[in-house]
Amino acid sequence: MADYDYDLFVIGAGSGGVRCSRMSASLGARVAVAEERELGGTCVNVGCIPKKLFHYAAHYAEQFEDAEAYGWKVGPRSFDWSTLLVNKDREILRLNGIYGRLLEEAGVTLLTGRARLVDPHTVEVAGRQHSAANILVATGSWPHVPDIPGAEHAITSNEFFRMETLPRRAVVVGGGYIAVEVSGIFHGMGCEVTQLYRGPLFLRGFDGDVRQALAEEMRKKDVDVRFEANPARIEKGETGLTVTLEDGSSLEADVVLYATGRLPLTDDMGLEEAGVKLDARGAVVVDPYSRSSVEHIWAIGDVTDRLNLTPVAIHEAMCLATTLFGGVPTAPDHENVASAVFSQPQVGAVGLTEEEARDRYGAIDVYRTRFRPLLHTLTGRPDQTMMKLLVEPESDRVVGCHMVGPEAGEIMQGLAIAVKCGTTKAQFDATVGIHPTSAEEFVTMREKATGE
């Protein structure tokens, strides 16, 4: 590899790119990474981190109200959007600095600017060419907005975290996890929220009971969730935006946010010219070891459009570093990866959905419960938590866990270990619960759901 400037050249300093750079360098490789925006990628700057901070902020309105049922007298209160923005920006700047120091301490060369492939072993950044034995594409994805009249008046999740003012009326278009999360944040901060989704039920790919339960809970909180509804055009007027739907009805809004999916960020990178195969969505096509159609060009994370989660990109990065410089070819494992949606209430899931389990196994045992959390026995809120276990009857193995309710993400992380280890329903039943908690319901469900 001495004939090249670097053993590995990484394009993109997001979570996956940084992890692969650092780990590869620790294994003795000469590594460079190029980034044209902020260090940390989508997750740190306009994704997971600011989203979770905003999610925390949005919860306080209900928490203040709930406190009164527990004897606390809460005085006058108001929300200041600008304070949240300043504090969020300070935390992101701190994380940007940490990423930079981690790369420096690992001995990785950081290049600022847009990277473009010249040939299968050469990358150009800011007018200078760099050769590498291996090239890794880790550029992530970018929000996609459908081409309708007035689309230029809409924003995406990128701009959401930098809005100068908080709108009074918000229309959120989309049915994925970003859309439901943003709807919950807007609502918690006092906005009038309408969420539009073109299909019959949002969160496609999640368990059917999860999708239905979340829709019900969001409507209880007065979020105007509308299915089979899609904008036809957006018009800007003196008092705001008018969203005309395909059925001819219209909505007035101060902001329209599109969360209708993200596309792999591969445009104008010279990938196809270098021989790298892309699919119809622009994703880099890779084999189980993250190798592209070109022998020494690799890709990980959202740009491959496999399982688009930050921890998955990091896992893929570690596997690739081990494959290239650790002497042990290692394929990432995408089976039974847990996920959370920071909606209000939260969603947590690991393993198969009921629909997937029936397709794979045929017969499946379903355990399901819905209940009012102990907290709300005093507050009087109608909120309900839904929990669900899916069991393959022949082996008694738990193949899916699903939850809609407070702290679903935290609870699901522990259950993910159990599912990954192939735990059986009998072992769930033998586990003594922690009382009183919502989580204990996962080890106390004994009756199969009726009608299964």
With residue 116 as reference, give the H or E element that holds it.
Answer: strand 115-119
User: 182 CB contacts (<8 Å, ≥6 apart)?
Assistant: 157, 160, 172, 257, 259
Token pair for 255 = 């902001």
Query: Residue for token digits 């709930």?
Result: 66
Q: What is the C-alpha R_g of the chain?
A: 24
* Displacement of CA 13 from its chain's centroid (Å): 18
CB–CB of 351/399 below 8 Å? yes
> How many Å apart are CA 122 and CA 132, to the nearest integer?
6
**Whole-angstrom distance, CA of residue 244 vs CA of residue 196:** 12
Residue labelled with tokens 């940490």: 98
Q: Is 435 known to be catalytic?
A: yes
Cα–Cα distances in Å, from 215 out to 204, 218, 223, 225?
A: 13, 5, 9, 7
Q: Which residue among the candidates 59, 144, 376, 435 is catalytic per the annotation?
A: 435
Beta strands in 190-280 (DSSP E): 192-197, 224-227, 231-237, 240-245, 250-253, 255-258, 262-264
Both tokens of residue 392?
Answer: 């393959």
Q: Which amino acid is at 398?
A: V
Helix, strand, coil shares of the chain, percent, nearest 5, are: 35, 25, 40
Q: Measure Cα distances from 47 to 34, 112, 181, 375 in Å.
A: 20, 21, 11, 30
Give the residue numbers marked as catalytic. Answer: 435
